[in-house]
């Protein structure tokens, strides 16, 4: 028996507990990190209270390792966050853009990009074990780290076996979603080649607006009709935009399974 694909109504990320880290008010930020008292040095703090309890500026300081004359590594981390607004903004910035910050050369910019990429890959590492897709959140958590900030639309198909385990995901098209780009025959050819028993369509809206367009709805109908002919279940079509997402099953546009 195949696993039922269930839709969870709650959207957004669960709240995360954050701890306030007390610092010495007499500390001089202009001092190099190795001159700070031990309890305030980022590396020592990480070992003492755990990486999850450090603010982003201290984590960036550990990645950067060193600052420049008159500016500590943590100060550079704060400047990066001020300049790009958030870790997500920093992730979206290119190496040349990051390197415009005084004290951040190409090497440090590359180190930052590598660290951020490791974080994203960690979130998807379980996919190598062919996870079973049970809920809408399973799909969103898999794709959102990569698709939420893309500047162009990408249409993907998740190929699942009869127990809803992920076989692979395939990029069908890039660019504005319309009938001339997403061809049912290309989707069906991929499904047949991989012997998939069920599929989930996923694409993003760079605008952040997740309401389906007329083209989205029309293409989904055509794909669903094609899949029905070869007896492949269409579990959902999900649109990701920024921190939000929309499920065609939730909207009643797909019956689901």
Q: What pLDDT is attached to residue 124? A: 65
**Domain with 108 in it: what CATH number?**
1.10.150.20
Q: Is 218 part of any domain?
A: yes
- Dist CA 170 CA 182 (whole Å): 12
Measured in degrees and rounded to the nearest 5, phi and psi for residue 42 equal -50, -45
The total domain count for the chain is 2
* pLDDT tens per residue across span 3-30: 456 544 455 554 444 443 444 444 444 4
Evaluate if residue 141 carries a pLDDT over 80. Answer: yes
Q: Is 246 part of any domain?
A: yes
Residue with tokens 């190409």: 106
User: How much is the average pLDDT of 225-239?
Assistant: 94
Going edge to edge, which strands form the sheet with 198-204?
Answer: 166-174, 154-160, 198-204, 233-241, 244-247
| 146 and 237 share one domain | yes
| 103 and 137 share one domain | no
Q: Is 9 part of any domain?
A: no
Residue 108: alpha-carbon gap to chain centroid: 23
b/e map of 120-147 (b: 16 or more CB within 10 Å)? eeeeeeeeeeeeebeebbbbbebbbbbb
User: How much is the average pLDDT of 105-114?
Assistant: 92
Residue with tokens 């809920």: 135
Domain containing 175: what range? 130-251
| 64 and 177 share one domain | no
Burial class of residue 150, CB neighbours in 10 A (0-12, 13-18, 19+): middle
| 57 and 169 share one domain | no
Q: Is 100 part of any domain?
A: yes
Q: Is 89 part of any domain?
A: yes
Q: Model pTM? A: 0.56
3-state SS class at 78:
helix
Evaluate if residue 209 carries a pLDDT over 60. Answer: yes
**Domain with 203 in it: what CATH number?**
3.40.140.10
Among the three residues 122, 138, 167, which one is the final residue of a domain in this structure? 122
| 152 and 247 share one domain | yes
| 151 and 206 share one domain | yes
| 111 and 45 share one domain | yes
Q: Is 21 part of any domain?
A: no
Choice among 21-25, 100-104, 233-237 with the minimum mean pLDDT: 21-25
Is 204 within 8 Å of 148 (Cβ atoms)? yes
Burial class of residue 240, CB neighbours in 10 A (0-12, 13-18, 19+): buried
Nearest CA-CA partner of 66 in 97, 111, 118, 100: 111
Among the three residues 101, 122, 143, which one is the final residue of a domain in this structure? 122
Q: Is 62 part of any domain?
A: yes
Tokens representing 189? 């050819």
Tokens representing 228? 């029905």
Q: What pLDDT is attached to residue 184? A: 85
| 178 and 236 share one domain | yes
| 144 and 191 share one domain | yes
Among the three residues 100, 122, 144, which one is the final residue of a domain in this structure? 122
| 64 and 142 share one domain | no
* pLDDT tens per residue across span 169-202: 888 888 765 444 677 888 898 899 999 999 999 9
| 114 and 204 share one domain | no
| 113 and 134 share one domain | no
Residues with Cβ < 8 Å from 162, sequence gap 6 or more?
2, 197, 198
> 205 falls in which pLDDT band (50, 70, 90)?
very high
pLDDT, averaged across the chain: 81
Instruction: From residue 92, give the alpha-carbon distance in Å to each of 98, 117, 150, 181.
Output: 10, 11, 9, 26
Degrees to nearest 5, angle at CA 200 with 185 and 243: 125
């Amino acid at each position: 028996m195949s696993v039922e694909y269930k839709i969870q109504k709650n959207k957004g990320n669960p709240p995360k507990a954050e701890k306030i880290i007390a610092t010495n008010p007499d500390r001089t930020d202009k001092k190099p990190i190795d001159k700070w008292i031990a309890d305030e040095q980022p590396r020592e703090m990480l070992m003492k209270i755990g990486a999850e309890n450090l603010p982003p500026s201290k984590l960036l300081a550990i990645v950067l390792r060193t600052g420049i004359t008159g500016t500590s590594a943590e100060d550079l981390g704060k400047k990066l966050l001020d300049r790009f607004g958030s870790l997500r903004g920093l992730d979206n910035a290119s190496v040349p853009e990051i390197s415009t910050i005084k004290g951040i050369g190409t090497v440090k910019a590359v180190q930052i990009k590598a660290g951020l990429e490791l974080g994203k890959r960690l979130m998807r590492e379980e996919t190598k074990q062919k996870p079973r897709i049970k809920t809408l959140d399973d799909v969103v958590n898999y794709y959102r780290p990569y698709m939420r900030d893309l500047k162009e639309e990408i249409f993907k198909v998740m190929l699942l076996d009869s127990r809803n385990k992920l076989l692979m995901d395939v990029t069908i098209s890039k660019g504005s979603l319309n009938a001339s780009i997403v061809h049912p025959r290309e989707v069906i050819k991929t499904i047949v080649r991989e012997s998939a028993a069920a599929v989930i369509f996923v694409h993003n809206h760079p605008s952040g607006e997740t309401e389906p367009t007329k083209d989205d709805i029309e293409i989904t109908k055509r794909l669903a009709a094609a899949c029905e002919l070869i007896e492949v279940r269409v579990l959902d079509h999900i649109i990701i935009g920024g921190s939000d997402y929309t499920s065609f099953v939730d909207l009643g546009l797909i019956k689901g399974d």
